[in-house]
Structure 1
Amino acid sequence: MTSHPTPDADATPPLGPEEETIGGGQFGSSVYGGRPTFALVRRDDADGASLTLYELLPEAQATARRDRLQRGNPNRGLVTETFGSVFGESADSEVDRWEWDAWVAVKVTQLSESRLRAILPLVRETLGDADLDESALATGGATEVFLPETVGVRLALAFLGVKPIQRVDRMRAFCRGIARMSDEECYYWHAKCRSPSSPNGEKALRTLLTDHVN
């Protein structure tokens, strides 16, 4: 892939009130006052390492999103866990910096084995560009890295898009395509992929970024 289209602003799906961003027109300034809204969790077990991406939301907002998804498709839903059950033992300073009562961790997806190996270069590059320490993700043991909205949106696209792909060359091509996207493109596709009215958003993005791979 040598290029991909940047959708016009007028074509961007309208976001719900809880999905809007603020901050003088800059992407990544969330409505939550700068707190992290995504987190990566690394865990190791007998089957090897895994990375799970979570979106962090107030419980009421997660419930409202789940209800919208199920109205659009009764088989769609959200996998949510309490914040404490996922991050209660975390030593990351972000846990103590903010009030997390009534917040939940919405599971985006978990990757391991070949999918994890394919996505790790993008994870490291994205965290490095945001001046976040990615070295902990390469070491063994339990690790959590809290992410600002812009980083989380890009990685959410990558995690969701890679999950169904079977061929490693397509996984890598998809991740390279996500790495080349601007923040504006990432926000557009993120809104499209999770919209109840756009059930084929993820498939369209995979086609866009991997169709050139024979």
Structure 2
Amino acid sequence: MTSPQRAMTVQSRRLAAVNGVRGFRLIVKPGRGETYGLTIEETYGEVGSVLATAVVTVTPQQTGRVIDALFAAIRRSGYQPSVLTFTRKAPIRLAEPDGVRLTLILLATQPIAKRERVRALVAGINAMSTEETYYWYSKCIGVDANRARKALRTLLSDD
């Protein structure tokens, strides 16, 4: 075996699949007083070896506008809403469909100031099927994310 062929053999390695499921975790970021912001991370793998990446971070003001959707996602993931406090240190694990829906809500409503428009966006996303939320989630974090988010906002609100 000549050295260039050997070097080629050494460099070609197979990628290993990550064992485990995709999920989401909610991290509470304390604000002023008893307020809190949030970071949602998309995770891969099990508790021992988790790969995570932050998908969206929102301020305490933005959190307050979508608190009902936040509580609904927490309930559907098997928690009581009381686990969500400004002093919480441990992340809250969300089931994949609930994490996708909540993240999509936060991404769509993040730049919006009008409360009526925020409500329309939240109601529109909550009315979507699970498959639709996965589709829009993939678009809203993909290459043309800003255009996709604008398209989603236009689709779901009358403005």
Indicate the TM-score class for this superposition, using the shorter chain for normalisation.
Answer: 0.7 to 0.9
Query: What is the CA-CA distance between 1:153 and the residue it aligns to?
Result: 0.8
- Cα deviation code 1:102-155 (max 9, x no counterpart): x23324222321x21221101112232343333211x33124211121111111
Gapped regions of structure 2 (runs ≥ 5)? 1-17
Cα 1:176/1:98, change in 2 over 3 Å: same
Query: Mind listing any 5+ residue stretches in structure 1 that lack a counterpart?
Result: 1-30, 59-96
Question: 1:49-128 alignment to 2 at 5 Å?
Answer: 49-57=36-44, 98-100=47-49, 103-113=51-61, 115-128=62-75
One-letter identity of the residue aligned with 1:170? R
SS at the partner of 1:203? helix
Determine if contact 1:43/1:49 at 8 Å carries over to the other structure. Answer: yes
Q: Determine if contact 2:27/2:92 at 8 Å carries over to the other structure.
A: yes
User: Is residue 56 of structure 2 the alignment partner of residue 39 of structure 1?
Assistant: no
Indicate the larger mover: 190-199 or 178-187. 190-199
Partner of 2:12: none
Whether 2:128 is the aligned partner of 1:142: answer no
- Matched length: 140
Q: Judging changes above 3 Å, is the alpha-carbon distance between structure 1 residues 45 and 195 closer, same or farther for their aligned structure 2 residues? A: closer
Q: How far does residue 50 in structure 1 lie from its aligned partner after superposition?
A: 1.2
Deviation sequence 1:153-204 (CA, Å, 0-9, x none): 1111111111111112211221121111110110111112122156511001
Q: Distance in 2 between matches of 1:46 and 1:128?
A: 26
Match status 1:203 vs 2:157: no
Alignment-mate amino acid for residue 120 of structure 1: I
The structure-2 alpha-carbon separation of the partners of 1:198 and 1:140, relative to structure 1 and needing over 3 Å to count, comes to closer
> Could you tell me whether the CA contact under 8 Å between 2:31 and 2:60 is conserved in 1?
no
Could you list the per-position Cα deviations for residues 49-96 of structure 1 after superposition, in whole angstroms to 9, with x for gaps in the alignment? Answer: 2122122248xxxxxxxxxxxxxxxxxxxxxxxxxxxxxxxxxxxxxx
Say whether the 8 Å CA contact 2:38–2:63 is kept in structure 1. Answer: yes
Runs of 4+ in structure 1 over 6 Å off: none
**TM-score, scaled to structure 2:** 0.75
Pairing partner for 2:136 from 168, 182, 189: 189
- In 2, distance between residues paired with 1:167 and 1:176? 14
Quick one: structure 1 residues 56 and 168, their matched pair in 2 at CA, closer, same or farther if it must change by over 3 Å? same
Query: 2 CA distance for matches of 1:148 and 1:159?
Result: 16
TM-score by length of 1: 0.57
Change (3 A) 1:209 1:150: same
